[in-house]
Amino acid sequence: MVIFDVVPPEYRWPVQFCTLATITTYVLSLITSNVSQVDRLWTFLPTIYAAYYALLPLLPNEQPFLFLPYTPRDLEWAAARDFSPRALLIFSLIVAWMCRLTYNTNRRGLFNIQEEDYRWAVLRKQLPPWLFQITNLTFISVTQNVLLLLLGLPTRVASVLQPHTALTLSDYTLSFLAIVVLVIEFTADNQQYAFQTYKHAFLAAEKGKASMEAYDAQMQWPGARLDWKPEDARRGFLTKGFWSYSRHPNSACEQAFWCIITLMPLLSPSPPNITYSEIDLSLLPTLSMIFEDFPHALIPFFQHLLGPLTHVVPALALLALIFSSLIFTESISMTKYPGYKAYRERVGMLGIISTLEKGLLLKWNGRREEVDAIVWGKVKKLRKAE
């Protein structure tokens, strides 16, 4: 279509597919009155975009019909001629990320077209119907689909913009860190799932409901077989395992993973990168040029200096989305769980350093034992032991 021909060649098919995904998820949200349709695609779309850029040499040069993936003839020849080892590596890591998220999404039942994220139900009650539908179109459908496209762009940098050279130490180091982050995130997911399974089973048994299956720790993954207590279930939210160091360890890992993916091509020796061996001082204007044409005289130099940083947009966009989502999620938790305020006082939102700082501050104020009792029930355990 002519409308897509004005798009740069390396973006042409991804923009087509993003448009199709946006329209489809929005229409489905109207038909089903369920706005979680795009949520079900989170696990697949970044992988599809990454696969497109990593596998460009396999694609045909013509597009028989709209939305069929292809390698435009006017794309840089090198990108379509052979594979980029770095792009293939990034794609492989994203596939591993997809497997973790798909597994967790499936066992939570979120692939069911009738299931909706509880946060959207809360937001629907808080907004007038007309404003919620505007939010559905602009943020839930359009913005999220564009973000999912952006997550595939680090593979584009490696495949289209960089020479297809062999992997380097930075690639191996960042890959190792990405795998470690995925293992931690997978374990945090499993701890949350095990806790929710225990909580629902315990509360059902407490109410005399025999239909709920009893909790079996051996059915859980290693690392998630924690020593759950009745007070954990009654508290309502998870405070053990990785969740004793971070209120959202899986979200922290999610941000870390995509930061690593974004930085992988940018920390390689090949341009565009953010590791400068030398700065082109010839682009730095003289004082007279600055005085005569400020600030335009400085633009070429700063484009050279900061240009590669424009490629960190995918990570920054995801950080902004996750952070805003966590604020909304915690506002809901504050209304549901009386002890959540104490949990926020004691444990950092994302990192362990914040948790250590909060613990020291509470100890200085003489409130640490009181808050710990609410968050972990330690005082109650000590009194029983006495």
Per-residue pLDDT tens, the chain, 386 aa: give them.
556 667 788 899 999 999 999 999 999 999 999 999 999 999 999 999 999 999 999 998 888 888 899 988 887 666 778 899 999 999 999 999 999 999 999 998 888 888 888 888 899 988 999 999 999 999 999 999 999 999 999 999 999 988 999 999 999 999 999 999 999 999 999 999 999 999 999 998 888 777 778 888 899 999 999 999 999 999 999 999 999 999 999 999 999 999 999 999 989 888 776 654 445 555 555 565 655 665 555 556 555 555 566 788 888 888 888 998 999 999 999 999 999 999 999 999 988 899 999 999 999 999 999 999 999 985 344 333 33
Q: Are residues 23 and 110 in the same domain?
A: yes
Q: Are residues 360 and 248 in the same domain?
A: yes
Counting the structural domains of the chain, the total is 2
Nearest to 42 by CA among 336, 290, 321: 321
The pLDDT of residue 284: 57
Q: Residue 31's CB: how many other CB atoms inside 10 A?
A: 10
Cβ-in-10-Å burial (0-12, 13-18, 19+) of 209 comes to exposed
The pLDDT of residue 385: 33
Ramachandran class of 67: left when φ > 0, alpha when ψ lies in -120 to 50, beta otherwise: left
Q: Are residues 189 and 232 in the same domain?
A: yes
Q: Are residues 304 and 233 in the same domain?
A: yes
- Tokens 């979200």 appear where? 251
Quick one: tokens of 73? 């003839």
CA–CA dist 294, 297 (Å, integer):
6
Quick one: tokens of 333? 């938790």
What does the chain come to in residues?
386
Q: Are residues 49 and 172 in the same domain?
A: no
Cβ-Cβ contacts under 8 Å for 375 (sequence gap 6 or more): 239, 339, 342, 343, 346, 347
CA–CA dist 5, 195 (Å, integer):
51
Between the alpha carbon of residue 180 and those of residues 1, 45, 173, 258, 337, the distances in Å are 43, 23, 11, 13, 32
Domain range enclosing 276: 167-386
Last residue of a domain, one of 145, 166, 187: 166
The pLDDT of residue 208: 78
CA–CA dist 219, 331 (Å, integer):
32
Cβ-Cβ contacts under 8 Å for 101 (sequence gap 6 or more): 42, 43
Last residue of a domain, one of 151, 166, 181: 166
Q: Are residues 2 and 134 in the same domain?
A: yes
CA–CA dist 370, 299 (Å, integer):
56
**Longest alpha-carbon distance in the chain:** 84
Q: Is residue 108 classed as helix, strand or coil in its secondary structure?
A: coil
The pLDDT of residue 382: 36
Q: Are residues 56 and 87 in the same domain?
A: yes
CA–CA dist 153, 97 (Å, integer):
16
Q: Are residues 133 and 4 in the same domain?
A: yes
Cβ-Cβ contacts under 8 Å for 307 (sequence gap 6 or more): 272
The pLDDT of residue 383: 36
Asked if the peptide bond before residue 300 counts as cis, ω within 30 degrees of 0, the response is no
Chain centroid to CA 211: 36
Last residue of a domain, one of 131, 166, 201: 166
Nearest to 258 by CA among 155, 162, 174, 151: 151
Quick one: tokens of 382? 């000590």
Quick one: tokens of 186? 């997978």
The pLDDT of residue 381: 41
Q: Are residues 190 and 313 in the same domain?
A: yes
The pLDDT of residue 294: 59
Q: Are residues 297 and 331 in the same domain?
A: yes
Quick one: tokens of 81? 């001629």
Q: Are residues 174 and 162 in the same domain?
A: no
Q: Residue 235's CB: how many other CB atoms inside 10 A?
A: 21
Q: Are residues 356 and 368 in the same domain?
A: yes
How many DSSP H helices and E strands does the chain contain?
A: 19, 0
The pLDDT of residue 118: 87
